[in-house]
Amino acid sequence: MRPWANPVFREAVAVYWQEGQACVTYLFYVVILGALQVLALVLPAGEARFWIGPAFLFKFSAVAALLLIVYLTLRFAGLEFLAWRFSPLRHWLEEERLGVVAVASGLLAILVVHGLVLLFLAAPLLAWSGAIARAPLSDMASTLPMLFLYAVGYGVWGLVGLALWERKPDSRRVFIRWIFVCFFLISGAFGAWAQTLNPVAFLLYHLGTLEMTTTPVRWGVVWSPPLVHWTFQGLVFAVGLALLARGLKRIQRGYS
């Protein structure tokens, strides 16, 4: 089923974008990201470093964009905005007789569009900070797809929270925040291996700020930091998809 033919996706298009209900959240996102960049320049403690240092303003902006994009994508996926405007998953699985794959595909299509919109809105600010900080074009070009992959890879866990706790919004909100805190904030504090898995630390490594050591050869493979990191990110995404499918199947069995 093509995304536009998917009724789950069409409903989100009507609410979020045709009616413009997501515009307020997008506006706050741009304002917060821009304000963080301005504060990085005007604060006396950091002004000289951000202007003179090796692309520090761009690195700061990239990390801020990463955290904001993933956090908002998680919240969009978990229906923390305008939840009352959307049909429950029970409606699609029971009354509309959609399969688990169709519902999951619609939810993932919504997630992808949110990630693309947030990335598109951040791109001018990142380009501005990169131009001021004289960041290499290769760093600027490679950062954008990384932000998108993180948004989709972790945003799927917002869908997991929706499928497992659709009727318990408080539990869903706690789950989403714990996912964000554990994967992005706490995980970087447990040694070199944890930093290799942490998206913020790896982004700084990719931009040349942090150093990470290569793991010795195991099973005939040199486990370089990029290989370890992206293998873990793929695993996180795959586990999220599996739990999403399980949650949807549980709803389907429970109400059929």
Picking from 163, 169, 171, 201, the residue whose alpha carbon sits closest to that of residue 185 is 201
pLDDT, average across residues 157-181: 92
Task: Work out the mean pLDDT of the chain and round it to a whole number.
Answer: 86
Distance CA 178, CA 197 (A): 17
Tell me if 119 sits within 8 A of 40, measured CB to CB. Answer: no
In this predicted structure, the answer to whether residue 46 has a pLDDT above a threshold of 60 is no
pLDDT at residue 47, as a whole number = 46
**pLDDT, greater one: 84 or 44:** 84
Distance CA 90, CA 94 (A): 6
pLDDT, average across residues 111-117: 96
pLDDT digits (tens, 9 = 90+) for 49-95: 545 556 788 999 999 999 999 999 999 999 888 888 898 998 888 88
pLDDT, average across residues 188-204: 80
pLDDT at residue 66, as a whole number = 96
Tell me if 123 sits within 8 A of 33, measured CB to CB. Answer: no
